[in-house]
C-alpha cells in the first residue's frame, strides 16, 4: 500500500480566493435554498483554495488508488478571515496518504486559521455497505428550522466542482460513479456543507462563525433534493443536519459562533 507524506512546507498563495468565486458560491447556495436576493459570504469558500497553484502537488496526492474511490469523511474550517484567503498569504500545508485514508491540513500563518480535510479510499463493496442513519425527532431542539432545496442537478454539481477545483470523478462521471456502486453521480460533501452554512446564516444573520466541523455519512444522489435542519444547541453552537426527503442523514455540520 502506498504511503505519501508532504510535510508542512510554507507556501505562498498565488491567487487566493477571488471575490467572484466567493460570490458565485454564495449565489449557488442561495439559488438551491430558494432564498431571496444574494447569498452571504461563506466560511466554506475556503475549500476553493485547493485550486491555488501553490497546492498543485497536495491536490494530486488525493487521487484514489486503483480499484478504489475517494469519499470525503470530514471537514473542519476554523477562524477563516478574508485576509487569510488572499493572494500572498502564507500557508503551511501538510498531507498524509497511506492508501486507505488521506488527511490534508492547512495552517494560515499570521491568521490562526486552519483547514482540515479527511478522505477515505473505499472499494465499491464497502461503499455498497454504507447505511445512512435516520434523523430522529429527539436530535432536534425545540424551534429547529428546516429548509428544502431544489433538486441538485448535474449543472449545480458541476458549478460547485468548478469553483472548488474538485477533480473527484464521482461527482461528474456517471460511469465512474456506477463502478463505485452508485446509480449516477453524487453531490460533493462540501456542497452539502455550504448549503448547511448558508441556511444557518439565514437563521442567525449576525453570527460570527469561528469554527465549522462537518461529518459526511451518506451520499446525496444527483437530481434529488435535500433538507437542511438547523438546531440551535446553545448560544455558541448549532447543529445542522442535511438529510434526504426520507430523513436519511447525509451530513452533520456543527457550527460554532463567537460572541
Where are the domains positioned within the chain?
Answer: 4-124+132-258
Per DSSP, the three-state class of 68 is coil
pLDDT at 212 over 80: yes
Q: Which residues pair with 209 in a beta bridge?
A: 257
Quick: pLDDT tens for 161-178: 999 999 999 999 999 999
Average pLDDT score over the chain: 93
First to last CA, the chain: 46
Domain at 4-124+132-258: CATH code = 3.10.129.10
pLDDT in tens, 108-144: 988 889 999 999 999 999 999 999 999 999 999 999 9
How does residue 5 score in pLDDT terms, banded at 50, 70 and 90? low
| Closest to 218 (Cα-Cα) out of 108, 135, 97, 98 | 135
Let me know the angle formed at the C-alpha of 78 by 136 and 214, rounded to the nearest 5 degrees. Answer: 25
Categorize the per-residue pLDDT at 59 as very low, low, confident or very high, splitting at 50, 70 and 90.
confident
| pLDDT value at residue 1 | 43
pLDDT of residue 150: 98
- Cell numbers that stand for 36 in this block: 431571496
Q: Residue 105 region, left (φ>0) first, then alpha (ψ -120 to 50), else beta? A: beta
Euclidean distance between CA atoms 95 and 118, whole angstroms: 10
Beta strands in 100-156 (DSSP E): 101-108, 113-122, 145-148
The pLDDT confidence band at residue 37, using thresholds 50, 70 and 90, is confident
The answer to whether the predicted template modeling score (pTM) of the entire model surpasses 0.75 is yes
- Whole-angstrom CA distances from 134 to 28, 212, 244, 247 are 27, 22, 9, 6
Amino acid at each position: 500500500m502506498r504511503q505519501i507524506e508532504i510535510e508542512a512546507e510554507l507556501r505562498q498563495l498565488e491567487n487566493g480566493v477571488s471575490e467572484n468565486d466567493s460570490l458565485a458560491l454564495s449565489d449557488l447556495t442561495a439559488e438551491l435554498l430558494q432564498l431571496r436576493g444574494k447569498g452571504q459570504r461563506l466560511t466554506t469558500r475556503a475549500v476553493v483554495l485547493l485550486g491555488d497553484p501553490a497546492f498543485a502537488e497536495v491536490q494530486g496526492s488525493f487521487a484514489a488508488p486503483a480499484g478504489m474511490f475517494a469519499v470525503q469523511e470530514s471537514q473542519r474550517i476554523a477562524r477563516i478571515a478574508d485576509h487569510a484567503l488572499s493572494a500572498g498569504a502564507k500557508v503551511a500545508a501538510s498531507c498524509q496518504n497511506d492508501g486507505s485514508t488521506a488527511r490534508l491540513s492547512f495552517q494560515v500563518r499570521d491568521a490562526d486559521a486552519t483547514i482540515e480535510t479527511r478522505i477515505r479510499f473505499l472499494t465499491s463493496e464497502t461503499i455498497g455497505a454504507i447505511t445512512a442513519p435516520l434523523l430522529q425527532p429527539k436530535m432536534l431542539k425545540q424551534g429547529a428550522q428546516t429548509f428544502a432545496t431544489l433538486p441538485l442537478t448535474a449543472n449545480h454539481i458541476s458549478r460547485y466542482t468548478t469553483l472548488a477545483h474538485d477533480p473527484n470523478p464521482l461527482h461528474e462521471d456517471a460511469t465512474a460513479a456506477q463502478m463505485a456502486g452508485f446509480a449516477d453521480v453524487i453531490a460533493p460533501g462540501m456542497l452539502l456543507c455550504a448549503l448547511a452554512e448558508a441556511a444557518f446564516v439565514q437563521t442567525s444573520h449576525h453570527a460570527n462563525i469561528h469554527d465549522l466541523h462537518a461529518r459526511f455519512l451518506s451520499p446525496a444522489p444527483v437530481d434529488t433534493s435535500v433538507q437542511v435542519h438547523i438546531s440551535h444547541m446553545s448560544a455558541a453552537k448549532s447543529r445542522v443536519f442535511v438529510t434526504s426527503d426520507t430523513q436519511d442523514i447525509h451530513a452533520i455540520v456543527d457550527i460554532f459562533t463567537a460572541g
